[in-house]
Structures are given as C-alpha cells and as structure tokens.
C-alpha cells in the first residue's frame, strides 16, 4: 500500500528521479462552521479537523522530493463533516490539484489548509504555523497568528535557522 502511495505521489510531485524524503501530513481547518472529516494529499491521509483546529497531530507517511522545483503539484481530496446543529448538510467530497510553493532544503511536513468555499492550500515546512518563518501570509494563517514572543526572538537573532 505504501508503495502505491509513493507511486501516486510520483505522478503529481515532479521529479521522481530525485532524492525523496519522508514527510508527515497535517492539516489546518480555517473554517469556523464546518469540520473536515477526512483528507488526503496524494493518497497520504491526514487527521480529522474540527472547526478552526489543526496542527496538533499528523499522520505518517508520505514521500516528497528533497528539493523543490517550480510546477510541483499535489492532489488533495477531502470530505466535510457535519456543521453545527441547524446548518445545511455537508457538501459532497472535494478534490483539487494544488501547486506547492517553494520550500527550504530542510523540507518538513506536508501541511494542508482548508478554507471556506472549497479552497485549499498546501505548504511544506519544518516550521509551525505560529513561527515567523512559516511560509504563509498573516491573512492566510487566520485564525492563527504569528507568535509575538517568537517575533521578538527573531528580531534579537535568537531563533536558529
């Protein structure tokens, strides 16, 4: 089964001949009114996500290229859970092909972000969402925010690379 997942990842992540490294899959649900019941990134499953939750757990394992190249994409599939009492039934399962923004040589985890209106983004990072070097804008991080303490440490030069 893992071989099948790796082969599926090769189909969408460019450069299967390049060195590959293992990566965990985690997620963030930026929606306040809907849960993400399940999701996969190139077939590798991530944890369930309640409204405005995530980052607390990950699932293993996926394989990613050790070096980023332009045009890298992944297929994300997800299904919604029920919303709060009185909300409409969940939308049907969704899927999207998502471009991967540049990531560092240190790679990191595959982090899927789910937004209202079936929007999804994926980043690969060795930083958590509250870290100043997390590769997303402050707007895209909401409801999470960059840690003020970590920002101070970065200004003082006390954050390691």
Non-local CB neighbours of 126 within 8 Å, separated by 6+ positions: 104, 106, 107, 108, 109
* Structural domain includes residue 71: yes
Domain CATH number, residue 87: 2.60.40
* Structural domain includes residue 85: yes
* Structural domain includes residue 83: yes
Per residue in 104-114, pLDDT tens?
A: 777 889 999 99
Q: How far apart are CA 36 and CA 38, in angstroms?
A: 6
Per residue in 57-69, pLDDT tens?
A: 767 778 899 999 9
Question: Which range marks the domain in which residue 8 is found?
Answer: 2-127
* Structural domain includes residue 156: no
Q: How confident is the model at residue 161 (pLDDT cuts 50, 70, 90)?
A: low
* Structural domain includes residue 161: no
* Structural domain includes residue 158: no
Number of domains composing the chain? 1
């Amino acid at each position: 089964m893992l071989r099948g997942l790796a082969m599926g990842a090769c189909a969408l992540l460019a450069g299967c001949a390049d060195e590959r490294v293992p990566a965990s899959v985690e997620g963030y649900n930026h929606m306040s009114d809907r849960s993400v019941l399940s999701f996969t990134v190139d077939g590798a499953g991530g944890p369930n996500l309640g409204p405005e939750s995530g980052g607390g757990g990950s699932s293993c394992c996926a394989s990613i290229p050790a070096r980023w190249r332009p045009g890298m994409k992944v297929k994300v599939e997800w299904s919604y859970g029920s919303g709060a009492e009185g909300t409409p039934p969940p939308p049907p399962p969704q899927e999207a092909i998502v471009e991967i923004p540049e990531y560092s040589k240190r790679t990191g985890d595959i982090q899927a972000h789910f937004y209202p209106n079936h929007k999804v983004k994926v980043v690969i990072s060795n930083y958590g969402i509250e870290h100043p070097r997390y590769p997303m804008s402050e707007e895209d991080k909401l409801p999470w925010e960059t840690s003020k303490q970590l920002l101070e440490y970065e200004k003082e030069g006390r954050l390691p690379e």
